[in-house]
Structure 1
Amino acid sequence: MVNIVVELSKYLMIALMAAYTFECFSVFAHRDIYRKKSILFNQNKLMFLIQFIAYLVMYLKTLEIKLVFFYLAQVVLLVATIALYTLIYPRVSRLIVNNMCMLLCIGLIMITRLTYTKATKQFIIIVVSMAISLVVPVVIRKLTFLERYGYFYAIVGMLALALVAIIGKTSDGAKLGFSIAGFGIQPSEFVKILFVFFVASSFKKSTAFKDIVKTTIFAAVHVLILVASTDLGAALIIFVVYLVMLYVATRQPLYMLAGLAAGSGAAVVAYHLFSHVQTRVTVWRDPFAVYQSGGYQVAQSLFAIATGSWFGMGLYQGNPTDIPVAEEDFIFSAISEEMGLIFALCLILVCVSCYIMFLNIAMQLRNRFYKLVALGLGTCYIFQVFLTIGGVTKFIPSTGVTLPLVSYGGSSVLSTLIMFGIIQGLYILREDEEEIIEKRKEEELRGVARRAPQTGQGTAQKRKKKATKFEEIEKQRIR
């Protein structure tokens, strides 16, 4: 009987996940606010159904009562997160909140399946991180001077990375961070946020050639310190984020081409300097040829994805524990094996919908600094998703970065939730800007209407034309 429930549950979870993913994109097609609220509320129901089915199956397979209490604790956390974001910030983007909770939910399901001890630690990390992230939107909204401290962000970031390079703990050939009270702290996860703020501040002030050179030097120092620590995944993320922000700020393809050329040359140098980079490239080319000398992890990842096929083996029906560090770098492979490739592809699309929302916010913000911050954080997020999934599927060499909000890891979860909190703050700022413009436009139109009987129709029409230009003038003022 239990096996029948497990077999049926995987198809049901795939259907629910597909419905949730469809609504991530369908919400963009509706302008009616009540219809949007209905879609977003329906997403919450789908998420809780997936969570209930997953934990029901895990309980039936293990008969461990602790899973019931752990499930209830997660329900309370997710309900509290959605309620608090909605109550504290009425103008918050509910789609981002929903996707954030869905990614956390899927991550906790898979980590619980792999190792209950790490799942409980992850839960504690999420609770603390969520409490911190709830404060971030109001900080972004109230502190209007953030764009003034560009070089401060750069110096703090470089010092943090240099400290890791000197005294950090080495893991898999790279110095990543420290361990305090059993919890790992990886400063590079937070430096990525500081770096985005630094670049946005610099390009807001000036995009003259000499200032671009200064900003590029600071960016290069960040990358070089990470290379010295052999944290090449973080170095690659910072490099790509800088290139994207540089191109958007300057609209000069030549800068992009020069950056790509420099990055390609640096990759060749890194290949010849670092043995573990050579190993990863060799594994990427043919992991089965070097199965016993470095290719085991990627090979097991590919076996897991192939075994799961489209519909998955079902929870506790596969062998995801055979994949080394499955709950961290290779969690996507574990999800593919037991929940199916369709479920995993929907997970990717949920991440993409987050990125689309980030870009939407960036395009509609009028303040250049905040626009670049939204763009930089969005690029940082989606490129990390690409590196993680590309590495486990052998599309690109493995870089050792985690899947944001899904993989196990304290610094990764905290930094990503802070990133989402910043985006929420920018979304609220965008709504504030729109409200100010609408109010001033209405006041101008009311003034035109009052003066129209006295000044004649011709003058009134001129004033109306002036009012229609008000929004453009206001945009320039905000910039």
Structure 2
Amino acid sequence: MVNVVTGLTKYALILFLAIYTLLGFRMAGKSEEEREAALWQQNILFFGMHFLGNLVLYLNTKGESLITFYAVQLGLFSLFLILHHLIYPKADKTLNHNLLLLLSVGLLMLARLSSEKAERQLEVAILAMGLTFLIPWIIRKAGKLRDLYWIYGAVGFFLLVAVLVLGSLSFGAKLAITIHGITFQPSEFVKILFVFFTAGMLKEDHSLKRVAVTTGIAAAYVLVLVGSKDLGGALIFFVTYLVMLYVATGKILYFFAGLIAGSAAAWAACGIFAHVRARVLAWSDPFSVIENEGYQITQSLFAIGTGGWFGSGIGQGMPYKIPVVEEDFIFSAISEELGVLFAVLLIFVYISCFYMIINIAVCLQDSYYKLVALGLGTVLMFQVFLSIGGAVKFIPSTGVTLPFISYGGSSLLTSFMMWAIIQGMYLKRGDEVVENDSKDNKEKAKKEK
């Protein structure tokens, strides 16, 4: 009976997610009433997927703690949606739905792989959700914070240097610092500071001198990350800066010059760092080194291939055979047990989020906030590309987590913070519309007089 329920559920989850994703894309250009109806449908589909996934996991594992774990999630998600609607009624509800969907998939897979890690991730999520109620208010009200970009740049650089000097090695790279038993990854939080700094530098002044100074500081960030052997982080900073520089200046020459410099740096890193050469070898021909460097990626490919289009069913696969599966290769675990179709639909959820973020950036009138929204959207989407690209052998593995899904307190907290900042941008866009309408009404009143 359990196998029958598991088999039927995997098809239901794919169908529900397909309809959910389609509704998200179709909301663009719809009237307010049509959007509200679609949002209610998304709510039903989301909670339906959440229930079915946890039900099947319970049936396959018989873990009594899963009932409590599910109940806490259900209460947390419901409370989050209700409070967000009450406090920020004009916030983008589709973004909130997507956030909870991605988080719920991550918690489901983590509960499948490690109940201890799943509980830790949920604790961080509770803290992060609390921040999402405070950050949008700060973005809307504390306009002077935009002028502190030099401080953002200095603090971010200091944190990266601190990791380089004091950080502990993990898989050949210095990524984290431990203080009083609490381990965190500063580079995750520095992404936000870096975006605020770059936006402040390029918001108005696009002179060659200004661009040269900003590029030099950005290069210093990247070099420190390279020194820490955090090449995945270095790539994210590098690409984010290139995109922001091109959009701010409109000069394609800067973009191509950056690509050439980045390609040369990547070639040099391959020659300098042994662990980079090992990852390139594992990517280019993993089966020739399957017992060593290629073991992780080959297990990832086996898992994806074994699951097929519709997956083996929750609890029916063997994702635990992939090393560090909860962090770097959770996409492979999802593909194996929930199916390649489900995994592809998750990618479309991310694309939907990126589309909405870019739309917010385009509509914002303030060049500073426009660049911030663009930068944060680029960070999120490029991180998705690196994580999934490494899992499916499209690019060498960079050890980058999948936002909202992979295990990692620093990564999850930072993702929530970026999400909250983007919501603040969305609300600010609404404030700009109200201000413009008010000005237009005043001008009309003066003309009538």
TM-score range, shorter chain: over 0.9
Q: What is the CA distance between 1:442 and its match in structure 2?
A: 2.4
C-alpha distance in 1 between matches for 2:257 and 2:101? 39
Match of 2:178 in 1: 179
Match of 2:390 in 1: 391
C-alpha distance in 1 between matches for 2:243 and 2:145? 21
Structure 1 residue 52 corresponds to structure 2 residue 68 = no
Give 1:52-451 correspondences, 5 Å limit. Answer: 52-180=51-179, 183-448=182-447, 450-451=448-449
In the superposition, relative to structure 1, how do residues 182 and 122 fare at CA in structure 2: closer, same or farther (>3 Å)? Answer: farther
Q: What is the CA distance between 1:183 and its match in structure 2?
A: 4.6
Residue 176 of structure 1: SS of its match in structure 2? strand
Match of 1:469 in 2: none
Structure 1 residue 18 corresponds to structure 2 residue 18 = yes
Q: What is the CA distance between 1:179 and its match in structure 2?
A: 3.2
Q: What is the CA distance between 1:181 and its match in structure 2?
A: 6.1
Q: What is the CA distance between 1:184 and its match in structure 2?
A: 2.9
Q: What is the CA distance between 1:182 and its match in structure 2?
A: 5.6
Match of 1:471 in 2: none
The 8 Å contact of residues 184 and 409 in structure 1, kept in 2 or not, is answered as no
Cα distance per residue 1:144-176 (max 9 Å; x no partner): 112211211111011000000001011000000
Cα distance per residue 1:380-428 (max 9 Å; x no partner): 1000000000000000000000000000000000001000000000100
Residue 293 of structure 2: SS of its match in structure 1? helix
Q: What is the CA distance between 1:180 and its match in structure 2?
A: 4.6
Amino acid across the alignment from 2:246 = Y
The 8 Å contact of residues 286 and 297 in structure 2, kept in 1 or not, is answered as yes
Q: Percent identity?
A: 49
Q: What is the CA distance between 1:90 and its match in structure 2?
A: 1.3
C-alpha distance in 2 between matches for 1:18 and 1:29? 20
Bigger mean CA offset, 176-185 vs 369-378: 176-185
C-alpha distance in 2 between matches for 1:92 and 1:183? 33
In the superposition, relative to structure 1, how do residues 302 and 182 fare at CA in structure 2: closer, same or farther (>3 Å)? Answer: farther
The 8 Å contact of residues 152 and 197 in structure 2, kept in 1 or not, is answered as yes
Structure 1 residue 33 corresponds to structure 2 residue 39 = no
| CA RMSD between the two structures | 1.0
The 8 Å contact of residues 380 and 403 in structure 2, kept in 1 or not, is answered as yes
Unaligned runs of at least 5 residues, structure 2: none
Bigger mean CA offset, 56-65 vs 177-186: 177-186
Residue 394 of structure 1: SS of its match in structure 2? coil
Bigger mean CA offset, 55-64 vs 316-325: 55-64
Q: What is the CA distance between 1:89 and its match in structure 2?
A: 0.9
Cα distance per residue 1:197-230 (max 9 Å; x no partner): 0000000141100011011111011000000000
C-alpha distance in 1 between matches for 2:390 and 2:60? 31
Q: What is the CA distance between 1:316 and its match in structure 2?
A: 0.9
C-alpha distance in 2 between matches for 1:265 and 1:402? 25
In the superposition, relative to structure 1, how do residues 224 and 408 fare at CA in structure 2: closer, same or farther (>3 Å)? Answer: same
C-alpha distance in 2 between matches for 1:382 and 1:400? 15
Residue 315 of structure 1: SS of its match in structure 2? coil
Q: What is the CA distance between 1:240 and its match in structure 2?
A: 0.2
Bigger mean CA offset, 121-130 vs 181-190: 181-190
Residue 155 of structure 1: SS of its match in structure 2? helix
Larger radius of gyration: 1
C-alpha distance in 1 between matches for 2:166 and 2:323? 26
In the superposition, relative to structure 1, how do residues 28 and 183 fare at CA in structure 2: closer, same or farther (>3 Å)? Answer: farther
Per the normalisation by structure 1, the TM-score is: 0.92
C-alpha distance in 2 between matches for 1:76 and 1:172? 37
Q: What is the CA distance between 1:439 and its match in structure 2?
A: 2.0
Amino acid across the alignment from 1:20 = Y
Q: What is the CA distance between 1:444 and its match in structure 2?
A: 2.4
The 8 Å contact of residues 204 and 367 in structure 2, kept in 1 or not, is answered as no
Bigger mean CA offset, 173-182 vs 405-414: 173-182
C-alpha distance in 1 between matches for 2:89 and 2:341? 34
In the superposition, relative to structure 1, how do residues 199 and 76 fare at CA in structure 2: closer, same or farther (>3 Å)? Answer: same
Give 1:448-467 correspondences, 5 Å limit. Answer: 448=447, 450-451=448-449
Match of 1:8 in 2: 8
Q: What is the CA distance between 1:29 and its match in structure 2?
A: 3.5
The 8 Å contact of residues 374 and 423 in structure 1, kept in 2 or not, is answered as yes
C-alpha distance in 1 between matches for 2:445 and 2:156? 50
C-alpha distance in 2 between matches for 1:5 and 1:309? 19
The 8 Å contact of residues 61 and 315 in structure 2, kept in 1 or not, is answered as no
The 8 Å contact of residues 150 and 197 in structure 1, kept in 2 or not, is answered as yes
Residue 175 of structure 1: SS of its match in structure 2? strand
Q: What is the CA distance between 1:375 and its match in structure 2?
A: 0.4
Cα distance per residue 1:78-110 (max 9 Å; x no partner): 111111211111111101111011110110011
C-alpha distance in 1 between matches for 2:180 and 2:94? 35
Amino acid across the alignment from 1:2 = V
C-alpha distance in 2 between matches for 1:61 and 1:223? 46
C-alpha distance in 1 between matches for 2:416 and 2:228? 25
Per the normalisation by structure 2, the TM-score is: 0.98
Amino acid across the alignment from 2:76 = L
Amino acid across the alignment from 2:403 = P
Q: What is the CA distance between 1:61 and its match in structure 2?
A: 1.4
Amino acid across the alignment from 2:152 = Y
Amino acid across the alignment from 1:5 = V
Q: What is the CA distance between 1:133 and its match in structure 2?
A: 2.3
Cα distance per residue 1:36-71 (max 9 Å; x no partner): 011112111111101101111111112222111110
Cα distance per residue 1:311-368 (max 9 Å; x no partner): 0000111111111111111000000000001100010000111110110000000000
The 8 Å contact of residues 183 and 410 in structure 1, kept in 2 or not, is answered as no
Amino acid across the alignment from 2:122 = F
